[in-house]
Chain A
């Protein structure tokens, strides 16, 4: 593998890892703070991608579609937390698994009723629809760099929100000791709603910005969900920092696995997970 090829694969793995981080961050936050395991998290990714496709064809602008789509995702997350998830924080994990598995069916069918079962593609915005030439016949599409940049910006925003703002302080307090936080007069229910909506929005944004490079298709949520689980298990449940490190590791292993050993590429990531489990059964950054 020459240097240009290596660089392309490295950038691809970075972009994939960062995208996975967007999804896993929401999953791990929701688990860390509310103690809920959410199998329907992948469905938010799928709904995001379909929203991007639908809204972009209405508005003729992907940026506008993403802005409106994010607002819809926040509203959806807020409503779901209020109607359903709020009542499951103290239930058994088994009940949570089943509830969210039922939701997967419901979201798939709602998607099928609203937008059908066809595969769609979303055009890359004109402004970034070009490539950077690396050698005579190799080049790298700028849009993939844009995805990585957006993910990095959002990750920094998330870091700032959680560790530097008053809201973030309340979120951390709620994760650390729920009763004490409530006793201090902080509206923990509001915090839960905010965190859940944030997690849903991150997953939907990941689906929206990824839609131009991965076509929009039914069932796109479930494969990404399982990758998210692997990321969260490797990183340690509840740890956003762990999710970032694990997502980048998974991105690297998956991308280079496909190039170097295509026969077992599908399994490489799970072998990584098995290795980490042997060494640290509770993930790399268990809190």
Chain B
């Protein structure tokens, strides 16, 4: 059984206002002078990148009802693509390397999707995980692909266009704004997609795939297309991650990365993309908080995950929705 419980497909006014406020706050953040702003800029950029990654998974997990436990594979592949495309002595152009990396990840998702999309429920979870592990070992075992140590990305991509050098990604603030624009753009794209005919078919597959087939939709093709698109968008996130950190290793496509993405989507509330963003920020914040608190952070993180699953399986937005309903009833 897949999961029929998408939260709040149509976002209430309150949530929309909150998201807009959040975007404005992010856009204003670099303007606040502070000693440690470099650190926070990097951290927020990373959170935004993970939010893109979580949204790409939400397209599968929340919208289509396909729980992929191997989504990090496509995130990592695009990161590695940037590492290979960047020469040792000069930066690579953003304008062709980003599409190549993202589409490469999307192509890998299509190939793997061809095998996994024909499975259902629990098989899908296990098989996506197994294929991601296969990609992991391909890079982990081969010295030519970086091996267990990974690879360095010597330069951030060069965004100059026909001699115009207005965007310099080596600058932390510029990179921050670039990521923010990508986040907002992909969010807007996915929200449009959700209510397009294609998005409606995907939601129909989540609710009842047999019925969609009976109505005459070739669900295999739709699911495969969703898998490929999700892989491509995960690739965008992975590319940005590699550009920001300047480093890729097999852990980027590891089992923990995939599980964290699922957790982000759940934590926020799935099926509406806004939840994925909220979840990614909340999850990363909690993780940093626990890591600063104690060296036994795994115990806290594990307990946190267990508690969320037991008490808030519909995520933060789901909690908010319940709270508002109670208020209306009173």
Contact = CB atoms under 8 A, between A and B. Distances in A.
B125 A93 contact: yes
A92 B126 CA distance: 15
Contact of B303 (A39, A102, A104, A226): A102
Contact of B133 (A101, A110, A226, A274): A226
Interface string B255-292: 10001001100100000000000000000000000000
A274 B325 CA distance: 47
| B contact face: mostly helix, strand, loop, or mixed | helix
A20 interface: no
Contacts of B123: 233, 237, 281-283
A56 to B, nearest CB: 26
Given A102-B306, A273-B127, A273-B130, A93 B298 contact: no
Contacts of B116: 277
- Of B122, B140, B308, the most chain A CB neighbours within 10 A belong to B122
| A contact face: mostly helix, strand, loop, or mixed | helix
Interface string B291-316: 00000101101111110111001000
Interface string A210-248: 000000000000100010011011000100000000000
B119 A281 contact: yes
A112 B134 CA distance: 28
Given A39-B259, A93-B67, A277-B115, 17 more contacts: A87-B310, A92-B3, A93-B1, A95-B309, A97-B69, A97-B259, A106-B298, A106-B302, A108-B302, A109-B299, A226-B130, A266-B134, A266-B140, A270-B130, A274-B131, A281-B118, A281-B123
B5 interface: yes
Interface residues of A, number: 45
B298 A108 contact: yes
- Of A226, A263, A271, A273, the most chain B CB neighbours within 10 A belong to A226
B130 A102 contact: no
Contacts of A107: 302
Given A98-B262, A282-B123, A105 B5 contact: no
B178 interface: no
- Of A91, A99, A102, the most chain B CB neighbours within 10 A belong to A102
Contacts of B67: 93-94, 97
B306 A103 contact: yes
B147 to A, nearest CB: 12
Contact of A233 (B127, B263, B305, B310): B127
Interface of B: 1, 3, 5, 61, 67, 69, 115-116, 118-119, 121-123, 125-127, 129-131, 133-134, 137-138, 140-142, 255, 259, 262-263, 266, 296, 298-299, 301-306, 308-310, 313
A63 interface: no
Nearest to A101: B259
A278 interface: yes
Q: Which 8 pairs across A and B sit closest by C-beta, in order of nearness?
A: A105-B302, A102-B305, A266-B137, A270-B134, A106-B302, A109-B299, A109-B298, A102-B306
Contacts of B138: 266-267
Contacts of A110: 299
A37 interface: yes
Given A266-B141, A277-B115, A98 B263 contact: yes
29 contacts: A92-B3, A93-B121, A97-B69, A97-B259, A98-B263, A99-B306, A103-B306, A105-B299, A105-B305, A106-B302, A106-B306, A108-B298, A108-B302, A109-B296, A109-B298, A112-B298, A113-B296, A230-B130, A233-B127, A263-B142, A266-B134, A266-B140, A266-B141, A267-B137, A270-B134, A270-B137, A273-B127, A277-B118, A281-B118
A226 B118 CA distance: 20
A94 B262 contact: yes
